[in-house]
Structure formats: structure tokens, C-alpha cells
Amino acid sequence: MYLLCNKKTYRAAGAVLAAAILISNGATPAFAQELKTVTNTKVFEVKLGASRVIYNPDSSGASLSITNAQAYPILVQGKVLAEDKKTPAPFIVTPPVFRLDAQQQNRLRIIRTGGQMAGDRETLHWLCVTGIPPKDSDVWAQDAKGTPLKPTAVTLNLEVSANSCIKLLVRPSGVRGTMMDAVSALKWQRQGDKLTVTNPSAFYMNLSSLSVGEMNIPDREYVAPHSSRSFILPKGAAGQVKWTVITDEGGESRTFQSPLH
């Protein structure tokens, strides 16, 4: 039996559910007092080798390393979605579905299959990788000897399927310069209780930190190329705007600052 909650998958042992049903009906099974419920939690999640992928549309594709740090095998599935994280994007991920053994590493390859994209600015997509729990009958969930990987003393088994998404930025050859060269060009303006930033560049600006005076602005997000975005200003915020961005390598840039107009 599977229970879906917040996109996570839970499996409960039938013996525990049967005991619960009997007790709720007023019947106490003979083994009820001896039954000890032990919870075993398994998180089916892989570690990605980067926090973003910069994709050159003139190349044959991009690759990303993934690692299974768990003590059990994981079935891995990758896909690319549009900026809304819902619409399938014109990319394929290979291998599309595969088993990744415990403490092992593999590589995903992302290949564009078509689609119309701007040639003068970056386009944002999302590379999402999901770890899938096995079913009892799945052959891939067996160990090297063909023995099913089942707990022997567990009566309640909790399995969590984790979905990890990172930015896939398509950067066409028509975009000149580097992202870091354009960070200082961000323009900041106060509009009532909002702070508006305008990005005149061809790059996505992923804000890592943002503050006005000594007050941090927590709900910061990325700013798309040639667009503006507004953030709620804390009460009493005044002074210089300071910000950092996430670099192509996934690190944090130096601090930039500008007067607030």
C-alpha cells in the first residue's frame, strides 16, 4: 500500500495495518502485546555533481555526475522541464532510467532535441533527477546474489522518494562577455514598500544574498535577462543595496553595492 504525501512515497507493512484494523474493531489479536513496531526509513535521493549546468547549444550535449551515497541501490530517473517546472522541455537525459548501486557514481548526459530558443539571451530550464523506491517484486532491488533487499526485523518500512532539480541554463554563442561582467549593471529602485531590480543583461542573475542597509531581504530569487523583479522591503530599510550572485561554478560572488534611488 502506498500513501502519497508531498510527492513522497510511503510503504506500510501489511501486518501492522492488519493489527490496527483488528484493534479498531474491538478484537485484540493474540500477538498484539508481543508485536514491536520498528521503523526503518530509507531516503531514495542522489547527490548531483553541480548546482547548475551551463548548456552550449552548439555543443553535442552536457554531462553531470551523480552519486548514490546510500547503503542500498536506487533507481534513478532524469528529465528536463521548462522554466515553469511543469512543461517538458526539448531535451533527453541518458540513460533515462537506470539502477545506481550503493556508494557508486555515474554520469548523466543532457542532449537538446529541438525547440525554439532565444539567440540573444539565456533560456532557463530545470534538470530534475528522482530516486525511485523499489517494489517487492522488482529484480533491480535484489543484491548481487539475487536475494531481495528486505529488512528482516522491520514491521514498518518508510520509503521517501526525493526529487532534486537544478538550473539548466542554455547560453547561446550570441551572448557576449561573462555573467560576472554584468552583475554590477543591475539597477535598483525603491517603489513604495518594494525594491525593484532591473537586469539589462543577457544573463540570469541568481541572487545569493540581498540587503538594504543592515536589513536582509530573505525572499530573493533569480532575475531573468532583460526583465525586472520586485521584493518586499522590510520596514525602516534604508541605505546602500548590497548583493551577491551565484557564479557559473555554483559559488558565491564578491559583494556588489549600489545607491538606492
**Tens-digit pLDDT string for the chain (261 aa):** 333 333 444 444 444 444 443 444 555 554 444 556 778 788 899 999 999 999 999 999 999 999 999 999 999 999 999 999 999 999 999 999 999 999 999 999 999 999 999 999 999 999 999 999 877 656 556 665 666 655 555 457 788 899 999 999 999 999 999 999 999 999 999 999 999 999 999 999 999 999 999 999 988 889 999 999 999 999 989 999 999 999 999 999 999 999 987
Supply the pLDDT for residue 260.
86
Fold of 2-143+152-170: Immunoglobulin-like (2.60.40)
Domain definitions of the chain by residue range: 2-143+152-170, 179-258
Supply the pLDDT for residue 201.
98
- DSSP code, position 149: -
Question: Residue 250 contacts by C-beta under 8 Å, 6 or more apart in sequence?
Answer: 50, 51, 52
**Domain 179-258 maps to which CATH number in 3.20.20.80, 2.40.50.140, 3.90.980.10, 2.60.40.10?**
2.60.40.10
Query: CA nearest 202: which of 138, 143, 120?
Result: 120
- DSSP code, position 246: B
- pTM recorded for the entire structure: 0.78
Intrachain domains 2-143+152-170 and 179-258 with the same fold? yes
| Cβ atoms of 96 and 78 closer than 8 Å | yes
Supply the pLDDT for residue 17.
41
| Cβ atoms of 140 and 73 closer than 8 Å | yes
